[in-house]
Chains A and B, each alone.
Chain A
Amino acid sequence: MSQKEQQVIQAIEDEALFTFAEYDPEAAERVGYSDYSYWGSTLKIFLKNKTAIFLLALMASLILFTTIQPYLPNQKSPTKIHVDPATGHPLRNQKPSNEYWFGTNVIGQDLWARIWSGTRTSLLIAIIVGIWEVGFGIFIGAVWGYVRQIDAFMTEAYNVINNVPTTILLMLLAYILRPSFRTMVIAMCATGWLGMARFVRNQIVIIRDREYNLASRCLGTPTSRIITKNLLPYLVSVIVMRIALSIPGTIGWEVFLTYIGLGLPIDTPSLGNLLNEGRQVMMAPALRYQLVFPAVVLSVITISFYVLGNAFADASDPRNHY
């Protein structure tokens, strides 16, 4: 034993130099305590983003408006063909006026009513598909990530499905099932969850064995607390972002399916149908309003949800918290 070590041992044995501290729970808390709250920080950062607040208010009022629009006074039916009482001819291609705020379309239906009815349809499809995507995707992804035995099989299955381009899968499904509101939703639900499932699986695989989770487990943190405090914050942000982002995505697919003639039947107004109707008359400059109005409404909706989704994702990412 060297002389230095002996000195150290002596120093430790010397009670005057080394005493055990009294256990004081308050003192222990003082070091480990921070007033960090996940949701508080998320909200704080989100509220700083003025654009996001504006868009959130815009979309909230838009959803409210489309829901109550049919019950407001002076609203017309979206499918009724308006007839000129004097001549008995349908009022085709009427310019926007006091009577028909956005004009009428080629067969004399009120464009204003059709746009809001179409927005309702499209948003409904988008929200159903979004919720399904998230619910089913998370379920499959969680099973895939947690149960190690099926990981290899699921990965191969994923590779097979993912190899077939979505466009083709969607077109085939829409073809086999024949167009209607239900088949549209089914076709999009059948393809959308895949990306979500893969994402959740990857997140779980990555986070599961991170050092801080390992540390929590070693310290005896109960599983429920690990899930709510360590795993969920990562996933919640993704879930909300995915719902928000799936809205522009789903609307885009709906427009695409309608464009290629596999969309909703023409008697159901939807943003895709309206855009398609507008496209057919766009070569006449006087009738372009029939394309411009639906296109503007559609773009405002998709951009808003896209920006909102991203803003929320940024705000809820714990790495951006301070």
Chain B
Amino acid sequence: MLKYSIKRLLQSLVTVFIVITLVFLLMRLLPEEGYFGDGYDKLTPEQRENILRKFGLLDPWYIQLRNFYSSLLKGDLGKSIIYRPDVPVIDIIKLKIPFSAAFGLAAICVSLFFGLTMGIHMARNKGRFWDKVWSSYVVFINAVPAAVYLLFIQLYITGLKFRGRSIFPMLFNRHDPRSWILPLISMSLGGIAGYALWMRRYMVDQLNQDYIRLARAKGMSDKQIMVKHVMRNAFVPMAQYLPASVLLTISGSIYIESLYSIPGMGGLLVDVIQRQDNVMVQALVLIYSTLGIWGLFLGDILMAIFDPRIRLEKREGAR
């Protein structure tokens, strides 16, 4: 187990290194306007050159890369240029992460609970009425772009009125719990569909397997089979993706946070891209992609804990 973990850790470190370097090099392709802040047009070519020199952008790329890594190791992601001039990126995102993380984690819990329940219900009623009802829900959510149904949920459900007052407020307000409900539901819809579809497929698959037949022949009850065999096995593949989705909750949901004006991370990347704040773009892309890698690493470790077979086999990355 230890050997496997260390091997995976080293592998992840290498991946992180490669990704960071690639992101850095990719960022050199960003439009230069993103380094000047407001008043780009008023600057003379000399002034522009001075600013670029101040950022070290006129150095050869390998020196830039070295400087970049040395400041990164000190935990310095740079300062925002346009979004909030001269404020360190860390300070900006520190205020926003709690909102995104809270909504994201709550949404994961909600979608896990309802998604798995729905999936089990579908598998039990395979081919019958409820299976079809839930299947059409899954098809709808998977096929229609999220923007469409999220817009309509906000548009029509916030319009519902009870005694002349609307039940769900249109915009998020951190002191009003009623305004938390719709964003949470909207955020969970996709997850519910995903987990339900997966759980249904998994259960239909597993229930035909020999070990289930054996368990039934031994006289185990359906409930015991579900809890001790099917659910336990079902958790293994899920364990692989859970850590990544938990870590990436801090990136927030772009649609939902912008629709309900939640001051989270969701729209931040879009915002800084539109306002061409290159330092912020770079910092955010770095954070998200690094988190993704660590998420997969933790997922593999978690999976190895739950499934002893994995440690013994050679890992095949693309499965």
A binding-site residues for B, Cβ under 8 Å: 154-156, 158-160, 163-165, 167-168, 171-172, 175-176, 198, 201-202, 248, 251-252, 255-256, 259-262, 275, 279, 282, 288, 291, 295, 298-299, 302-303, 305-307, 310
B binding-site residues for A, Cβ under 8 Å: 15, 18-19, 22-23, 26, 29-31, 139-140, 142-148, 151-152, 155, 248, 251, 254-255, 269-270, 273-274, 281, 285, 288-289, 292-293, 296, 316-319
Q: Which 9 A-B pairs have the closest CB atoms?
A: A306-B143, A252-B145, A260-B270, A255-B145, A155-B317, A303-B143, A164-B289, A302-B143, A163-B293
Partner of A307, one of B23, B143, B292: B143
Q: Which residue of chain A has the shortest Cβ distance to B248 in the bound complex?
A: A165
Judge whether B142 and A306 touch: CB under 8 Å.
Answer: yes
Please report the C-alpha to C-alpha distance between residue A305 and residue B248 in the assembled complex, in whole angstroms: 30
Judge whether A159 and B142 touch: CB under 8 Å.
Answer: no
Judge whether A163 and B15 touch: CB under 8 Å.
Answer: yes
Q: Which residue of chain A has the shortest Cβ distance to B34 in the bound complex?
A: A175
Q: A165-B288, A176-B30 are in contact. Are A155 and B270 (CB under 8 A)?
A: no
Judge whether B143 and A159 touch: CB under 8 Å.
Answer: no
Q: A202-B319, A282-B151 are in contact. Are A164 and B144 (CB under 8 A)?
A: no
Partner of B148, one of A172, A175, A275, A307: A275
Q: Which residue of chain B has the shortest Cβ distance to A162 in the bound complex?
A: B318
A310 contacts across to B, CB distance below 8 A: 139
Q: A165-B288, A306-B139 are in contact. Are A260 and B145 (CB under 8 A)?
A: no
Please report the C-alpha to C-alpha distance between residue A160 and residue B318 in the assembled complex, in whole angstroms: 11
A282 contacts across to B, CB distance below 8 A: 151, 155
Partner of B18, one of A160, A167, A168, A252: A160
B139 contacts across to A, CB distance below 8 A: 303, 306-307, 310
Judge whether B147 and A275 touch: CB under 8 Å.
Answer: yes
Judge whether B155 and A259 touch: CB under 8 Å.
Answer: no
Judge whether B155 and A164 touch: CB under 8 Å.
Answer: no
Partner of A163, one of B140, B254, B289: B289
Residue contacts A-B, CB under 8 angstroms, 28 given: A155-B318, A156-B15, A158-B317, A159-B15, A159-B317, A159-B318, A163-B15, A163-B293, A165-B248, A167-B254, A168-B285, A168-B289, A171-B273, A176-B30, A201-B318, A248-B142, A248-B144, A248-B145, A252-B146, A259-B147, A259-B254, A260-B274, A261-B274, A275-B147, A302-B143, A303-B144, A306-B143, A307-B139
Judge whether B270 and A171 touch: CB under 8 Å.
Answer: yes
A295 contacts across to B, CB distance below 8 A: 148, 151-152
Report A247 CB to chain B, min CB distance, Å: 10
B254 contacts across to A, CB distance below 8 A: 167, 256, 259-260
Partner of B289, one of A165, A175, A260: A165
Report A219 CB to chain B, min CB distance, Å: 30
Judge whether B148 and A288 touch: CB under 8 Å.
Answer: no
Report A3 CB to chain B, min CB distance, Å: 41
B23 contacts across to A, CB distance below 8 A: 164
Please report the C-alpha to C-alpha distance between residue A252 and residue B317 in the assembled complex, in whole angstroms: 28
Main secondary structure, interface of A, reads helix
B30 contacts across to A, CB distance below 8 A: 175-176
Please report the C-alpha to C-alpha distance between residue A165 and residue B245 in the assembled complex, in whole angstroms: 11
A165 contacts across to B, CB distance below 8 A: 248, 251, 288-289, 292
Report B300 CB to chain A, min CB distance, Å: 11
Report B34 CB to chain A, min CB distance, Å: 9
Report A259 CB to chain B, min CB distance, Å: 5
Judge whether A298 and B270 touch: CB under 8 Å.
Answer: no
A-B contact sample (10 more), CB < 8 A, given A168-B285, A259-B254 = A155-B317, A159-B296, A167-B254, A168-B288, A168-B289, A202-B319, A255-B145, A298-B145, A303-B143, A307-B139
Please report the C-alpha to C-alpha distance between residue A251 and residue B144 in the assembled complex, in whole angstroms: 9
Judge whether A160 and B155 touch: CB under 8 Å.
Answer: no
Please report the C-alpha to C-alpha distance between residue A163 and residue B270 in the assembled complex, in whole angstroms: 20
Judge whether B148 and A248 touch: CB under 8 Å.
Answer: no
Q: Which residue of chain B has the shortest Cβ distance to A298 in the bound complex?
A: B148
Most chain B CB within a 10 A radius of its CB, from A160, A163, A303? A163
A248 contacts across to B, CB distance below 8 A: 142-145
Judge whether B318 and A158 touch: CB under 8 Å.
Answer: yes
A279 contacts across to B, CB distance below 8 A: 151
B248 contacts across to A, CB distance below 8 A: 165
Judge whether B15 and A168 touch: CB under 8 Å.
Answer: no
Judge whether B155 and A288 touch: CB under 8 Å.
Answer: yes
Most chain A CB within a 10 A radius of its CB, from B140, B254, B318? B318
Please report the C-alpha to C-alpha distance between residue A310 and residue B139 in the assembled complex, in whole angstroms: 10
Report B10 CB to chain A, min CB distance, Å: 13
Report A250 CB to chain B, min CB distance, Å: 10
Q: Which residue of chain B has the shortest Cβ distance to A171 in the bound complex?
A: B273
Report B274 CB to chain A, min CB distance, Å: 5
Most chain A CB within a 10 A radius of its CB, from B30, B142, B144? B144
B18 contacts across to A, CB distance below 8 A: 160
Please report the C-alpha to C-alpha distance between residue A163 and residue B191 in the assembled complex, in whole angstroms: 20
A251 contacts across to B, CB distance below 8 A: 145
B155 contacts across to A, CB distance below 8 A: 282, 288, 291
B142 contacts across to A, CB distance below 8 A: 248, 306
Report A170 CB to chain B, min CB distance, Å: 11
Please report the C-alpha to C-alpha distance between residue A248 and residue B152 in the assembled complex, in whole angstroms: 18
Most chain B CB within a 10 A radius of its CB, from A154, A168, A251, A275? A168
A159 contacts across to B, CB distance below 8 A: 15, 296, 317-318
Report B150 CB to chain A, min CB distance, Å: 10
Q: Which residue of chain B has the shortest Cβ distance to A258 in the bound complex?
A: B147
